[in-house]
Structure 1
Amino acid sequence: MSNVVASSAYAQSNDWHLALEHAIHRLQRIDGANLGFVYISDRFTANCDAILERLRTATPVRHWVGASGVGVLGSEQAELDAPGISLMLCRLPKDSFRVFSGRTPLPRDFAAYGAIVHGDPATPDMSELVQDMASKVRAGSISGGLASARQHPVQIADTALSGGMSGVAFDERIRLVTGVSQGCLPLPGGWRVTDADEHSITELDGRPALQVFREAAGPALGADLRRATRNLRVGLTDAEQDRRMFTVRNIVGVDLRRGHLTINDNVSEGQHVVFVRQDADSASEDFRQMLQRLQQACPEPPVCGIYVSGSGRGGALFDSDDSEVAMIAEVFDNLPLAGFFSSGEIAGDRLYGFTGTLTLFF
């Protein structure tokens, strides 16, 4: 039997008071609720303290974590560039979690097993912070995302924060499983970078990178590099054991004379490369595969979930901003869900971009 009981609600309004009151009204009452997740539109960041104050008077929950987003989502709706608030109440076993931030570090005597985290996209060493935090939990894996906003993103860890990382850590009584959807599907094959120069991949398995790319793209796309670089991406990983766990990067240039590929990231010798197709059909198929893997990994039906989607996804990648939550509902019916559209997604010990990460509690 699960140690978690949860309820979620989502509401939209140009007035933060109305959005919050509608969301509170839609929440199912949970006696003994002791942890809340709150995701707010970036249009409401100036009102974050007032939102937290109202949540503490309207619910029994004193501990709240979350972030701002250029869009927020719930179990039945998601919308980018719209003012809204997403809430989730949880009742967890006593002393099974700790809220932490730079102001209130995680206590050393708390045996953290997993964590949901939020971060500031302006923090320059965020990838290193993610790895460090993952090393502090016994599962070696965390999940969450970076706050997003047009101007000043905020994190919430019992209070409004900026900079660094914050979140909530759980002991081993709280079971979590996380899936990552890259929004694309890898083409057959995989290669090792044997020569590179900053942003340029010069050789793959000892051959000119552009030659390998043309072959992987196939005869039609390989003959039309302009179309190939629009439809295909580079997936970088430090290991070749799991071809799904890669970081997607755009191809920003080709050197026809030297056979080099230039991407929007540094690349180094020894990294492994896959080429991926990124379009609406591939994104939907990849998302459904991720949900199937999560369903198989759950020892029992999940109690609730946190979904973090890259701000470049939504209707720009799928049929609508709601497409991802609709697919989640097809597999996990009536699942309490809260989340937001982020400027970076966190899963395992890595910081991603343009992905979707779903963390289930069971």
Structure 2
Amino acid sequence: MLRASFVHAHAAAPDWQEALTDCVGQLRTRIAAQHAAPGAFTLGWCYFSDYFAPAAEAILEALQQNLPGVAWVGTAGLGVLASGVEYIDEPALVLMAAPLPAESFRLFSGRQPLATVSSDFVAHTALVHGEGSTPDIQDLLHELSERTTTGYLFGGLSSARNRTLHLADGVLTGGLSGVLFDSSVHLISRVTQGCQPIGPQRAVTGSEGNYVITLDGRPALDCVMQDLGIDDDLLAEELSDALSATLVGISSGNEDVPLHAGKFGADTLVRHLVGVDLQNRVLAVGDQVDAGSQLAFCKRHPEAARRDLLRIATEIRDELESGASGELAGALYVSCSGRGGPHFGARHAELRVVRDVLGDVPLVGFFAGGEVARDHLYGYTGVLTVFTTGT
């Protein structure tokens, strides 16, 4: 059971020290307003745009000095966000602090290994930050998922252009880091898709690594040309242009069934088409594709993305209003760096969808180079997670 609500702060400024001073002041004011006991706030999130990435060590040191007793996690991204607000491609910083019992969570990283099976701490869920350049990152996510009782991970990868990094009471490069939560920390989490199918779900009947050879028993290239309405006599350069905006949605058999026609299910992984073999009619995809899985060609669709974000936020609100999960205490939102206001039609539009449904709750997050939910690494999605008081 939480002892108080989360508190958050956000600021944009050319200098990181100015932004940090502003945010720390906001946090202190909001903590004081709750009349919380000294040391009640134990876990903090710090996300900053990549303009501030070179100063990561100084930022973390200043946080530890100004707010002692708080364990800090976070990362750098192309943009950061707070309740109803987004900062994309500008120097900005967001903070959030939570009054969790110290025994209810553990930080982990390459410097702080995961607890052993015999440990008295049992991980229930995990917040994850990391870097996309890490070898076998999908395998690492799967292994981490297996170390929790629910298998549920949430978070994202750094999207910084100059210095990808993540924080876990230290500045880290490579690998994964984050927070393990025990079963006393209650949360609700949903994935929102940002793409819409432009053709039917097709069975992968022939594949090798990331090469899709046949779909529904037909050459893969023939299938995408049919679904896109592309003429057979199109020149190679024209075909490349036609396919450049096409993505693929991959799901495992019948495990990820869409709730509605013309939409993807939550477990669908969207990947790029990265190449075409005209002679053999084969497609290359930016991930391994297994025979027996399902594949649908798709494109990014702003209105479909807005509707799906509205849907998941409403689902979370309805669950909260049912009384089954307690009250909302704070929230995290990790969105793909290819989304944000411009994709939704106006600055702040994506975050305002969430705020309009959930209210002006403490919420922070960042625009990621890959979004994590369950044991999957997604693209073009948003992962909305709310922490609740439990029941």
TM-score, L = length of structure 2? 0.84
Deviations 1:27-84 (A, max 9, x none): 2115211111111222222322322232233335431111111211111311221111
Matched, 1:14 2:14: yes
Deviation at 1:227? 7.6
Once the two structures are superposed, the pairs formed by residues 176-325 of structure 1 within 5 Å of their partners are 176-187=187-198, 189-217=200-228, 229-230=243-244, 232-243=246-257, 244=265, 245-254=267-276, 258-298=280-320, 299-325=325-351
Q: Any gaps of 5 or more consecutive residues in structure 1?
A: none
Contact kept in structure 2, 1:237 and 1:246, CA below 8 Å: yes
Please name the residue that 2:384 is paired with: 358
Contact kept in structure 1, 2:332 and 2:363, CA below 8 Å: yes
Return the alpha-carbon distance in structure 2 between the equivalents of residues 13 and 212 of structure 1. 50
Closer, same or farther: CA 15–269 of 1 in aligned 2, 3 Å? same
Return the alpha-carbon distance in structure 1 between the equivalents of residues 146 and 287 of structure 2. 25
Contact kept in structure 2, 1:33 and 1:60, CA below 8 Å: no
What is the letter of the counterpart of residue 240 of structure 1? N
Closer, same or farther: CA 226–316 of 1 in aligned 2, 3 Å? farther
Return the alpha-carbon distance in structure 2 between the equivalents of residues 76 and 57 of structure 1. 29
Return the alpha-carbon distance in structure 1 between the equivalents of residues 314 and 222 of structure 2. 35
Deviations 1:267-313 (A, max 9, x none): 23222212333222222222222323333444344221111112122
Contact kept in structure 2, 1:233 and 1:276, CA below 8 Å: yes
Once the two structures are superposed, the pairs formed by residues 53-64 of structure 1 within 5 Å of their partners are 53-64=61-72
Q: CA RMSD in A?
A: 2.7
Return the alpha-carbon distance in structure 1 between the equivalents of residues 276 and 45 of structure 2. 45
Contact kept in structure 2, 1:201 and 1:267, CA below 8 Å: yes
Closer, same or farther: CA 68–187 of 1 in aligned 2, 3 Å? same
What is the letter of the counterpart of residue 179 of structure 2? V
Residue 349 of structure 1: which of 375, 378, 384 is its match?
Answer: 375
Which shows bigger deviation, 41-50 or 347-356? 41-50
Return the alpha-carbon distance in structure 1 between the equivalents of residues 290 and 255 of structure 2. 18
Deviation at 1:169? 0.7
Deviations 1:196-242 (A, max 9, x none): 2444322122233344435544799xx99678635542101223222
Please name the residue that 1:145 is paired with: 156
Deviations 1:142-198 (A, max 9, x none): 111112212222211111111211111111010122211221123564222101244
Closer, same or farther: CA 258–4 of 1 in aligned 2, 3 Å? farther
Return the alpha-carbon distance in structure 1 between the equivalents of residues 85 and 49 of structure 2. 14
Deviation at 1:346? 0.7
Please name the residue that 2:261 is paired with: none
Contact kept in structure 2, 1:75 and 1:337, CA below 8 Å: yes
Return the alpha-carbon distance in structure 2 between the equivalents of residues 282 and 176 of structure 1. 26
Please name the residue that 2:51 is paired with: 43
Return the alpha-carbon distance in structure 2 between the equivalents of residues 122 and 250 of structure 1. 17
Question: What percent of counterpart residues are identical?
Answer: 37
Return the alpha-carbon distance in structure 1 between the equivalents of residues 226 and 317 of structure 2. 35
Matched, 1:66 2:74: yes
Return the alpha-carbon distance in structure 2 between the equivalents of residues 124 and 321 of structure 1. 35
Q: Secondary structure of 2:304's partner?
A: helix
Please name the residue that 1:171 is paired with: 182
Contact kept in structure 2, 1:185 and 1:286, CA below 8 Å: no
Return the alpha-carbon distance in structure 1 between the equivalents of residues 310 and 146 of structure 2. 30
Which shows bigger deviation, 8-17 or 258-267? 258-267
Which shows bigger deviation, 130-139 or 186-195? 186-195
Matched, 1:132 2:154: no
Q: Secondary structure of 1:137's partner?
A: coil
What is the letter of the counterpart of residue 239 of structure 1? G
Please name the residue that 1:93 is paired with: 101
What is the letter of the counterpart of residue 311 of structure 2? Q
Contact kept in structure 1, 2:84 and 2:354, CA below 8 Å: no
Which shows bigger deviation, 318-327 or 174-183? 318-327
